[in-house]
Amino acid sequence: MSGGGNACKKEHARDAPGFFPPEVRAAVTHLACQKPGTPIPLELIRASTESSSGKAATPAADQLTPHQAFTAAEPVCHKVSQFPCEVDPGLVEMVALSEVGEAPVSPDQLVNSKEPSLPIPPQLELVAPLLPLMLRQVTGLGWCLHLPFSRLSGALIAWLLCAVGLVESVSIRSVQRWLKTEKIKPWNVRSWITPKNLKDFLGRARVVLAVYARVPLFGPTEVAYSADEKTSIQARERASQEAPQKGKPGKLEHSYIRRGALQLFAALNIATGKIFWRIFPEKSFDEFSQFVICLIQDAIKQGYRTIHLILDNGSTHRPKILQAGINAWLVRQKLTDVSVQVHWLPVRSSWLNQVEIFFNHLQTFVLTVNNYPSIEALKEMIDEFIIFWNAMKGPIEWTYTVADLEHQFNRTSDTPDPRVGRARKRRYKKVAVNSTGTLSEPQDKAA
């Protein structure tokens, strides 16, 4: 058994230097780290090919030849072109240069069709039928690869290595191993929103994160809520639905009948993780005002006198008049000992609103499989899920601090990384039901 375990730790034979030169792995990393639409100069690939004694080749069960990837969907222009190596520089507008700070390509850099073309590199004659689609000339860079893909996979990168003549054949699994070693996943893309006004963004974000940090220090009469709404939640009645079975996923009919929609307003108590919610048929400032008044009244009944309300700048919230309206309502109710402070999140920062985490759970466990025959059935399911959440969940483990904000958006070469030395948050935890019926992390047994 020990011999088998040690064998698993040995280097793969296909990755040994005798099979593939370092230039091949470098080319894989270079191709995987390109932004879509970026021209890739061939100088690096040409130099790598010339420096090696010959093309590297290794037999493999899943070898990929240059024509396998696009045989089924070969463009018509490739079939009718008698001179596939003649490249029309006007076919594509270059959008960025990878080696010059990703600056846009000026019109002077595009090759004029009247100018003599550079000779095609010899290693590219292997895939001449595909050259009109993949090759462009850019002044100062020479021949460049223009990839007609917005995402790359291990199979495509393996095909490109063969297409440019760097190798005669390569296993897809080898490419995937190299990418895994470098921790590169070119097929993964994370959506992100960039702040427009960084100064205003940082100013407001610091205030909100400071409130999050102070919550554990609050006294018995102070509370903070993170509030927002999830609007237009539709009740969709499906024609049929089948439960999952062994070896088979569940089935949900794609076609549906809309039975109406509702609007959920929710506020998360940051200290306890409990949700206060109201459901309305419409979404406007009137409904939101009713929700805020109900929230304040509920907080007062629980003994809170200082209330922090964290909101985004949505039009439903009326940022210009909400604070004044709340103060006027407190005066009319003669609640002089109660103070409500609204903290406005910066624009494009929903990821700083903790109640969005609850909405994500609601979407995952209640709304993704949407098969409700009526709006009443949908409302009942949402109510029951929130009751379950309040009984089982605790406060959200929020780790993003003002120091993390400064390191991310206002970083200099001397700014220390606040994540260094911080205990890493475990993604999956062992849970158990304690004596009160709520979920908790089980205690480790003594050895």
Q: Which residue has the tokens 């406007």?
A: 284
Residues 121, 143: contact at Cβ < 8 Å?
A: yes
Inter-residue contact 139 to 116 (CB < 8 Å): no
Cα distances (Å, whole numbers) of residue 165 to 111, 123, 158: 24, 5, 11
Mind listing the domains of the chain with CATH numbers?
11-181 (no CATH), 198-239+256-418 (3.30.420.10)
Q: What is the pLDDT of residue 155?
A: 86
pLDDT, position 308: 96
Q: Over 70: is that where the pLDDT of 200 sits?
A: yes
Question: Looking at the predicted structure, is the pLDDT value of residue 174 above 50?
Answer: yes
pLDDT at residue 131, rounded to an integer: 55
The pLDDT of 295-319, averaged and rounded, is 93
What per-residue confidence (pLDDT) applies to 70?
A: 32
* C-alpha separations of 27 from 33, 38, 134, 167 in Å: 10, 15, 17, 11
**What CA–CA distance (Å, rounded) separates 265 from 283?**
9
Mean pLDDT of the chain: 75
In this prediction, residue 259 carries a pLDDT of 92
The pLDDT, as a whole number, for residue 417 is: 67
**% of the chain exceeding 90 in pLDDT:** 36
**pLDDT surpasses 70 at 87:** no
Q: In the predicted model, what is the mean pLDDT of residues 370-385?
A: 94
Question: What confidence category does residue 40 fall into, taking pLDDT thresholds of 50, 70 and 90?
Answer: confident
148-178 per-residue burial string, b: 16 or more CB within 10 A, e: under 16: eeeebbbebbbbbbbbbbbbbbbbbebbbbb
Separation of alpha carbons 231 and 242, rounded Å: 28
The predicted structure's pLDDT at residue 112: 40
Query: Is the pLDDT score of 278 beyond 80?
Result: yes
Report pLDDT for 6: 44
pLDDT at 323 over 80: yes
Average pLDDT over residues 43-61: 45
Sign for the pseudo-dihedral over CA of 280, 286, 292, 296: negative
Q: Alpha-carbon distance 409 to 103, whole Å? A: 22
Element (H, E) at 206: helix 198-214
pTM of the model: 0.68
